[in-house]
Amino acid sequence: MLELCAVTAGYDRARPVVRDVSLRVEAGEAVGLLGPSGCGKSTLARVAALLHRPDAGTVVLDGRPVSGYRHRATPAERTAYGVVFQQPRLSADPRLRLADLITEPLRATGRRTEAPTRLAELAPTVGLSSDLLSRRPHEVSDGQLQRACLARALVLRPRWLICDEMTAMLDASTTAALVAVVEDYRRESGAGLLAVGHDRVLLERWCDRTVGWGELGSSGAGG
């Protein structure tokens, strides 16, 4: 279970963008978090993924409060997550070929020997040909790069997926394809999902339940 307990977070302590918000995602559950742009939902997603230290409140991961955020999180905590961001261009190292981009988490965790096998499994799953795998980000389209970013998020077999507006830049067919990849992975692995977005139709179709930003209060909307 992934629990956010009374989280207050932001970039200026005097003006937090997330105030006293609680949210719970059960193991294997898919929760959609719906809100307008600028409401703070991406900040909350970053806290949930341990990428942003909240001013107050805690994140409880599988029953234990996390030990820290960003580099202070333990390797086991960090690798429990796969994260996909809205803009693939900003979340991909322009120097890496897609094959290296996808397997970077394996190298970072000292498991580089698994790279060829995992790459061979994941590339067809996300629909990347070997020709595309040898290219660098500027040589592929947004949709193709987001496919690689999704593969990178799955490469460590995370128990939790955080998708922050994963499909906002993509056309309808690529959106449907990437959501299908996430759902196939969840069915096979039992991973939980927090999908953040502003498209109600998409999140309601995709997730088990959808929570509106306005419904999140101190009492918690997780249930």
Partner 1 sequence: MTTPPAPPAAPVLSVRDLSVRFRMRGGRHVAAVTDVSFDLAPGQCLALVGESGCGKSVLASALLGLLPGNAQTAGTAHLDGTELLTASERELSRSVRGRRIGLVPQSPAAHLTPVRTVRAQLEETVRELTGTPKHALRAAAEQAAARAAFPADHLDRHPHELSGGLAQRAATALALVGDAPLLLADEPTTGLDRDLVDRTVDELRRHIDAPGGTGGVGTGGVGTPGDTGGVGRALLMITHDLAAAERIADRVAVMYAGRIVELAEAADFFGAPGPRHPYARGLLDALPDRAFTPIPGMPPELGDLPPGCAFAARCDRATDRCTSVVPALTDGAACHHPPGTPGEPVAAVREGAAGA
Tokens of residue 22, six digits: 């609680």
Distance CA 96, CA 93 (A): 6
Single out the residue of 29, 17, 27, 81 nearest to residue 50, CA to CA: 81
Site for partner 1 contains 174 (CB under 8 A): yes
Site for partner 1 contains 199 (CB under 8 A): yes
Span of 5-13, 45-53, 115-123, 171-179 interacting with partner 1 by CB under 8 A: 171-179
Q: Residue count at the site for partner 1 (CB under 8 A)?
A: 30
* Residue 174 neighbours by CB under 8 Å, 6+ apart: 143, 146, 147, 167
User: By C-beta, is 70 or 200 nearer to partner 1?
Assistant: 200
Site for partner 1 contains 134 (CB under 8 A): no
Distance CA 25, CA 48 (A): 10
Residue in 81, 85, 160, 206 binding partner 1, rule: CB under 8 A: 206
User: By C-beta, is 103 or 210 nearer to partner 1?
Assistant: 210
Distance CA 157, CA 118 (A): 10
Site for partner 1 contains 215 (CB under 8 A): no
Site for partner 1 contains 179 (CB under 8 A): yes
* Residue 215 neighbours by CB under 8 Å, 6+ apart: 221
Residue in 177, 195, 196, 216 binding partner 1, rule: CB under 8 A: 177
Span of 52-60, 77-85, 110-118, 168-176 interacting with partner 1 by CB under 8 A: 168-176
Distance CA 197, CA 200 (A): 8
The contact pattern for partner 1, residues 10-39, with x = CB under 8 A and - = no contact, is --------------------------xxx-
Distance CA 149, CA 63 (A): 29
Question: Cα–chain-centroid distance for residue 66?
Answer: 17
User: By C-beta, is 31 or 170 nearer to partner 1?
Assistant: 170
Site for partner 1 contains 200 (CB under 8 A): yes
131 phi and psi angles, rounded to 5 deg:
-60, -45
Residues at the interface with partner 1 (CB under 8 A): 36-38, 86, 127, 129, 141-144, 168-177, 179-180, 198-202, 204-206
